[in-house]
C-alpha cells in the first residue's frame, strides 16, 4: 500500500487505542511494532504515545523506530483518577516520566484525562442521572490538574484537558466548570468529537465555542443505534467499545463536513488524532479501519 504524505493545515495522527491498547500490561495487546508498522502503512504522520510503557520508554530506541517509519509522537497521555488525592503522588511521578520522554522526542502535548471509573462508566451518556463529584473532590481534581500542568510546562510540553465518557469531566456543565476553574495559562483544551456525541454535546458547536482554548483535537465516529443501546442499557464505556460503538470516520453519526467547516472557521492548525477504541482481540481489522478513516479525511479535504 502506497504511503501518501500531504501538507495541509492539519496534521493527522492515530493512537494505540485504535488497536485496542489501553493497558500496557494487557496480554491481548498486539505487538507495538505492529502498531507502528500499520500506522505508517496507512499513511499517518504521527501516533500518540498511548499508555506509558506500551511503546519503548528509551527515547533513543523509540526515536529510531519512529524514524524508520516516518512517524512522530504527537502527544502523551496521563489517564488516571485525578480526583483521588491518595493517587496524586503516583500520578505526578508518572506525569514527570511521560513529560521527560515527550521532551526528548520533541513532542508538544500532554493529554490530561480523568480516567473512566466504575461508578460513572455505567452512567456514561446519562447527563441527568450521572453522579457528580462533591465540591471537595472537585477541588482535589483541579489541584491535581494544576500540578500536572506545572510539570508539563517544566518540560516545555503543552497540557490539554480532555473530557471523557465515564470520567468526572464529561458533560457540558463539567467542561464549562473546569475551564472556569483552570486558567488558560494552566491548561488548554482537547475536544473529542466522539466523546462530545456520547455526552450529548454537539461537536461543531463546542469546537467553535471553545476556539480560544482549543489546542488539540481527537476524531472518533460513533454508531448512533449502538450508542443508544449502550446508554440505555448502562453498558459501561469499555464494554461499549468492545461492542463496537466506535467505527471508522465517515461511517457513523458525526457530521465531518460540518466539523471541517468549523475547524476552518476558527483557523485551527493543530493535530487531529483519529481514535477507534476496540477490544485488542479485534486488532486484526485495525489496519483496514485506520486506513478507511484517513482515506475519508483525505476525500473530505482535511489533508
Instruction: Parse the chain into domains and list their residue ranges.
Output: 11-299
CA-closest candidate to residue 272, choices 294, 254, 287, 244: 294
Distance CA 188, CA 290 (A): 27
Do 194 and 201 meet the contact criterion of CB atoms below 8 Å apart? Answer: no
Instruction: Scan for cell 492539519, then name that residue.
Output: 10
Which CATH architecture best describes the domain 11-299? Alpha-Beta Barrel (3.20)
Q: What is the pLDDT of residues 115-142, one digit of tens each?
A: 999 999 999 999 999 999 999 999 999 9
Quick one: pLDDT at residue 4? 44
- Dmax over Cα atoms in the chain, in whole Å? 54
Residue 2: band (very low, low, confident or very high) from pLDDT cuts 50, 70, 90? very low
Q: Is 134 left (phi over 0), alpha (psi -120 to 50) or beta?
A: beta
CA-closest candidate to residue 197, choices 217, 167, 180, 219: 219
- Identify the residue with better confidence: 63 or 3: 63
What's the pTM value of the predicted model, to 2 decimals? 0.96
Amino acid at each position: 500500500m502506497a504511503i501518501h504524505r500531504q501538507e495541509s493545515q492539519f496534521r493527522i495522527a492515530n493512537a494505540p487505542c485504535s488497536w485496542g491498547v489501553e493497558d500496557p500490561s494487557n496480554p491481548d495487546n498486539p505487538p507495538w511494532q505492529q502498531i507502528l508498522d500499520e500506522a505508517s502503512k496507512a499513511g499517518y504522520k504521527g501516533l500518540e504515545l498511548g499508555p506509558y510503557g506500551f511503546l519503548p520508554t528509551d527515547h533513543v530506541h523509540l526515536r529510531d523506530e519512529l524514524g524508520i517509519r516516518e512517524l512522530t509522537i504527537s502527544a502523551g497521555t496521563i489517564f488516571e483518577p485525578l480526583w483521588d488525592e491518595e493517587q496524586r503522588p503516583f500520578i505526578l511521578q508518572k506525569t514527570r516520566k511521560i513529560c521527560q520522554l515527550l521532551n526528548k522526542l520533541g513532542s508538544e502535548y500532554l493529554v490530561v484525562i480523568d480516567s473512566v471509573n466504575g461508578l460513572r462508566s455505567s452512567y456514561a451518556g446519562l447527563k441527568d442521572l450521572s453522579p457528580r463529584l462533591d465540591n471537595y473532590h472537585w477541588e482535589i481534581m483541579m489541584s491535581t490538574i494544576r500540578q500536572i500542568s506545572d510539570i508539563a510546562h517544566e518540560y516545555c510540553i503543552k497540557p490539554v484537558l480532555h473530557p471523557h465518557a465515564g470520567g468526572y469531566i464529561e458533560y457540558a456543565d463539567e467542561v464549562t466548570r473546569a475551564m472556569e476553574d483552570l486558567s488558560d495559562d494552566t491548561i488548554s483544551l482537547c475536544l473529542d468529537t466522539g466523546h462530545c456525541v456520547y455526552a450529548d454535546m454537539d461537536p461543531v458547536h463546542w469546537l467553535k465555542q471553545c476556539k480560544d482554548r482549543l489546542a488539540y483535537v481527537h476524531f472518533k465516529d460513533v454508531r448512533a443505534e449502538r450508542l443508544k443501546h449502550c446508554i440505555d442499557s448502562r453498558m459501561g464505556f469499555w464494554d461499549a467499545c468492545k461492542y463496537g460503538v466506535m467505527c471508522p470516520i465517515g461511517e457513523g453519526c458525526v457530521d465531518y463536513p460540518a466539523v471541517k467547516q468549523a475547524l476552518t472557521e476558527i483557523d485551527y492548525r493543530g493535530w487531529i488524532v483519529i481514535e477507534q477504541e476496540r477490544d485488542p482481540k479485534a486488532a486484526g481489522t485495525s489496519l483496514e479501519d485506520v486506513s478507511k478513516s484517513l482515506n475519508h479525511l483525505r476525500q473530505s479535504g482535511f489533508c
